Structure formats: C-alpha cells, structure tokens
Amino acid sequence: MPKYEFRTVQHTPARVVYRFLSGRFLDGERRTDGGYLRPGRRVLAESGHASKWAMLPGWQRQAWRLGTPIALCGVSSAYLTSPDLTAGTAAVLAAVGGTRVARRARAAWRMRRFNAAYINPTLAALTGALGDAPVRLHVSPELGSLVPRLVKPMSPAEKAVRTWYGEHVEPAVRWAPEHIMRALWLAQKKASPATRWLEQFRRPVDSDTGPRIELLTSVPYLTDDQRRYVSSVVNAKIPAGDLNERWDQVGPQVRVTWTVRKRPPSKVGYADLSARLAQLAEWEYFLGLGVGGKPVTISLKEDSPHIACSAGSGAGKSVLAQTVAVQVLARGGRVVILDLKGSHRWALNLPGVDYCTSPEQMHKALVALARLAEERNSRALHESEDWDPGYRVFVIAEELNATFAKLKDYWSEARGTGDAKVSPAVRAFRDLLFMGRSAKVNVFAVAQMLTAHTTGGPESRENFGIRALARYTKNNWQMLAPEAGMPRASRTLGRWQIVVGGVATECQVAYLSPAEARLLVHKHAAVSPSAQSPLMGADQEMSPRQTTVGDSVSAVVDPLSETVTLREAVARGISPWAFDATKKRLQRARKAQAPTAPAPVGKEGLADVYRVGDLVIWIESELVA
C-alpha cells in the first residue's frame, strides 16, 4: 500500500473523533509509557516532545475534552437564569485562572532560560562525538531544582543596592515566609508519629522513575571514547550533582539515561556523629550527610579557619554551631559563646564552655581572645613549623547584626576620656578573623544577613572560607557565595548548602538533642582533657596535656574512671534528666536486669557512688532506646 494511502487510513474522521473522545492523542502517536489510568513517566523514542499534557493519563485528557464543552453549556444556561451570580463566580474563577496562567508563564519563561543556559549548549557540544546525527535530549522538569543557576559577576552599583536591600528590606520581606515555614515544620513534627505509622502502607517507589536526563541519538553505536566524551559533556554542561549513568545500545538507536543519586537523608543524628568522630583529625569536623549518604566534613586547617553561617529564622543556625562545638569540646578544646537570646541551653554549666550573654561579658571575652591569639602568633614565630599552640578555642558569635549594635552601644556608655571611639571588642573580633588559623582560634559567625558591614568590611568577610547557607534568597546568595552556582533552596529542615572553594555541597546537618550533645562530650572526655578558659587571661595558657586543680598543675587522669554520685552526675550535666527521673530510670533498668545498668563502686555517706564511664554507657543506651 502506498505511503500516502497508509496515512489517510490512520487519520480518517472516525478515528480522529474516537481518539478525541477516548483521551488519546489525535495523531495516534504514542508519546509516553502512560496509559488510560497510569500517568506517563518515560518519554518514548517515537515522541518528538513530552509536555505536561502528554504526561497526563488518558482519563484526565478525556475529562478535559468532554468536560470543557459541557461546562460552557452549563455556564451559558446559568447566565441566562442568574446573570449577576454567574458574573461574580466567573470573576472569581478568572482571577484564579489568571494566577495559574501567570505561574505557568513564569515556569515557561524559566524553562526557556534553562534551555538557553544548559540544553542548547549541551547539544552544540555533543556534535564533537555525534556529528550531524539527530539528537534528542530530555531533562525532567523536577531536575531543574537540582541544577545551580548560573551566577553573573556583580557591578559595584549592584553590590551596593543588594547590600542596602539585604540590610533594610529583606528582613521585613522574609518575616512572614519564615514564620509560616516554622509553623509547617512544627506541624510536621507533631504529625510525625502518624506519618511514620502510615509509611508501612505505602508502596515502594522505583528509584528508576525519578528525575532523569535522557539522550537519544540515531547513531547505531558509540565507541568507548565517544561515550566518555558524551558523559563528560553532559556532566559539565548540566551540573546536577552525582548521577547514575546507564547506556543502552541495543537496536538501531543509542539511549543513555542519567538518574539522580539518592538525596541526603531527611535526618542525621547522634549515632552518625558518634561513629565518625574518632576517624577524623583534630582539625576536621563532621557536619552531616550529603548525596548518597556521603559524609560532609570541613577542615579548619586546610579549608578555612572561620565559618560564616547565614539563614532565616528557625532554619537551624544554632544546631549547625552546636554540631561543631560538641566536637571541639570532645577533643579537649574550649567553646566561647556570645549569645544574647540564649540559643545554646545545651551548653549551660558544661565544662569547657564560657557562655557570655551580656554586652559587658562579650566585650571582655573578645578582648581576651584577641590577646590570646596575638600571643600565640608571636610565639609561633620562634617555634618550628609543626608547633602546636595548644587547645583549640571555638567562638560562636550568635546574631552578629544585633550583637555588634549592642557592643557599640555598650562602649559608647563605658568609654572614658581619651579612649578610642571604635569599640575594642569590635576591633578584636576583626583581628581574630585575620589571625585565627595559626593561633587555633576559630570563629563561627551567625547572622540572618551576613553583610560586609556586619563583619567589619569586605576584607574581614573574605576570611570566612567556609560558608553555610539555608533558606537563602538570591540576594543573600549573591552576597555570600557569588562564585558558586546557586541551587534552589530546600524546604527540608536542617538541609544546608556548604560552600567551600566555590563549590556548593548539599548536606543534611546532624541534629543532637541537648541531652545527646552533653552525652557526646562526656563520652569522649577520656581522651579530651579540659583546657583552661582563655577568659582567665592569656598569660595563664596551659598545655593541652595539663589541667588545673586549684592553683596547681597536675597530670590528667582518666575522667571516665572518676566516681560520682547520681546527684553529682546531674549537677555536672552527665545525666540529662533531673535527679528524681535519673534515680527512677536506674531503678527500672536494674529491675529489668539491663546489661548496661551501672553497678555502684562504693558509698559516699548514704549515697551510692558510680564510675562516670559506666553512667555514660547506660545513659547512651537509654537515649538510643
């Protein structure tokens, strides 16, 4: 049968009407693997495109085709019966429809920009391996959220405008969305018992049906060098992170599919941090897990001595600071917290922590820290290159935007005749940023909008080589990480972007409850002698192998072998519960004959005495349970 007769038979009026009424495509071409009840998930080779309309199941297309004329007839009949009510309803529906049309137009514009920035250059680069052969490249719309946006350099005028916007406008604009997001996170937390119970009724989703990149070419075969070239081009031109690659060269065409690796887990906790702490060097710190469950670590020696943290309210800035601080304490360092609002209750009365809550305390602390760092740097000039200045001091500066204002107000009131106009605390903070690496004094700066004005100028802010961002805006990203491509901000609580050396890494930060944070410090105390507070004076600095007992210096004993009563354990923070609750839990553990229940090793009056190490093991088992 001639070709033109074949096409005529396939497109008879009866067939076209049948396809229209049954929800099929009018040209009879099958574009996806979907059916009448199942939506399309994969684009087939015969398809020229795969729009959202093509991905719909057949019954939805049928409903639109049959429902639209019926709805028009119904609206006409209603208008003849009640014109005023029909006009009001039509106005409301037009407003809703206009909003949806605007959103779709915005999405189409974004897709056009996405194609211009990624798809078209990729197709042009593939001609080096495929020549003039027809190539079809499909990128799932969901994948657009994983691909960083291309960042253009900013002019001085744009920097000034963005800085002004970030300091004066953006805090007010972000207030409502941040509180709405915090309410959603609270609702998710409250509903978590029910959602975990419902998980067992959900069918597992095939990971092969997720967001993907598909390339189809009519070339019958590609050599190993050509395949490597195609893979390198796609990974370089469409930077969607770690991708799984699969080639299929069976048949007259070559198909290659890239699927996204498993995203970071939704929760990382105490067990993940405790298991990896001993495997890291003293200057390396575990933050959480990234794509495919890969650990994300930072180095305060090789990456940067200081960390900048910028995120909206409730995004977990204090949790990120706590994750690094507990590792510093567990290794024998000290933590100095400058906090006006009390975000780190886990650290109250914890050995090795100096908690400053008033501007006067913060002023004295920063001046003492700058003096300590200066003396360590001076000593380093006369020592060998591998000289260790001593224990590490980790400074958490919470809410710098408000803290600096308080410090300036305090100095304006306390300044005497002849004193400098610039606050010594502000000057000391800037000095720490320039000499923290060799002195082992590291700053963790926390702010909702970490502008250059907040840190003392662009030169000071450049010392933050590690930058953590969450729930960021385009303006915030452009100011803090303009050299890195900007991924779409995640709505998952605890999901951060860690930017080091111009590369952004997605990370689910480890969350520790206050009890777990204190337990981790006590658990690793055997290899971590407590260092002297730097606020007592830099001239009293001690070796990390010594500890203070009264006014004398003695050798360190194993802290886990120390004996304490339950009341002393509660007072020192070893037990996260109140004394009565700790006593009741211990009684239940003994009654159940739990293997981790500690046995008393002596008496102190009428109270039993326990070994600290035995208490730590038992408390950890209780928390895990």
How far is residue 285's CA from residue 300's CA, in Å, rounded to a whole number?
8
How far is residue 507's CA from residue 467's CA, in Å, rounded to a whole number?
12
Using only the alpha carbons of the chain, give its radius of gyration: 31
Question: For residue 150, what pLDDT is reported?
Answer: 58
Quick count: other Cβ atoms within 10 Å of Cβ 588? 12
Quick count: other Cβ atoms within 10 Å of Cβ 162? 19
Domain boundaries, the chain: 1-81, 111-197+206-261, 270-525, 558-625
Coil vs helix vs strand at 179? helix
Question: For residue 546, what pLDDT is reported?
Answer: 31
CA-closest candidate to residue 10, choices 28, 25, 37, 22: 28
Question: For residue 547, what pLDDT is reported?
Answer: 32
Half-sphere exposure of residue 593: CA atoms within 13 angstroms, side-chain side: 0
Give the residue ranges of DSSP H helices in 440-571.
452-455, 458-461, 474-480, 514-523, 566-571
Q: Residues, the chain, total? A: 625
Taking the alpha carbons at both ends of the chain, their separation in whole angstroms is: 75
Question: For residue 337, what pLDDT is reported?
Answer: 92
What does pLDDT average to in each consecutive run of 10 residues of the chain (625 residues)? 44 84 81 80 58 81 88 86 86 89 84 81 84 80 62 75 79 79 82 80 62 84 89 82 81 85 81 87 90 87 87 83 92 89 82 87 90 86 78 88 85 83 86 79 82 64 84 82 79 87 87 82 61 55 32 40 81 78 85 82 83 79 70
Fold of 270-525: Rossmann fold (3.40.50)
Residues 36-66 as b or e (16 or more Cβ within 10 Å = b): eeeebebbeeebeebeeebbbbbebbbeeee
Task: Collect all residues with Cβ–Cβ distance below 8 Å to 307 and sequence separation of at least 6.
Answer: 298, 324, 442, 443, 444, 445, 464, 466, 467, 468
DSSP 457: S
Question: For residue 624, what pLDDT is reported?
Answer: 65
- Global pTM value: 0.66
How far is residue 437's CA from residue 380's CA, in Å, rounded to a whole number?
11
Coil vs helix vs strand at 310? strand
How far is residue 81's CA from residue 439's CA, in Å, rounded to a whole number?
84
Question: For residue 454, what pLDDT is reported?
Answer: 65
Tally helices (H) and strands (E) across the chain: 22, 19
Question: For residue 297, what pLDDT is reported?
Answer: 92
Task: Collect all residues with Cβ–Cβ distance below 8 Å to 472 and sequence separation of at least 6.
Answer: 310, 311, 312, 480, 486, 489, 497
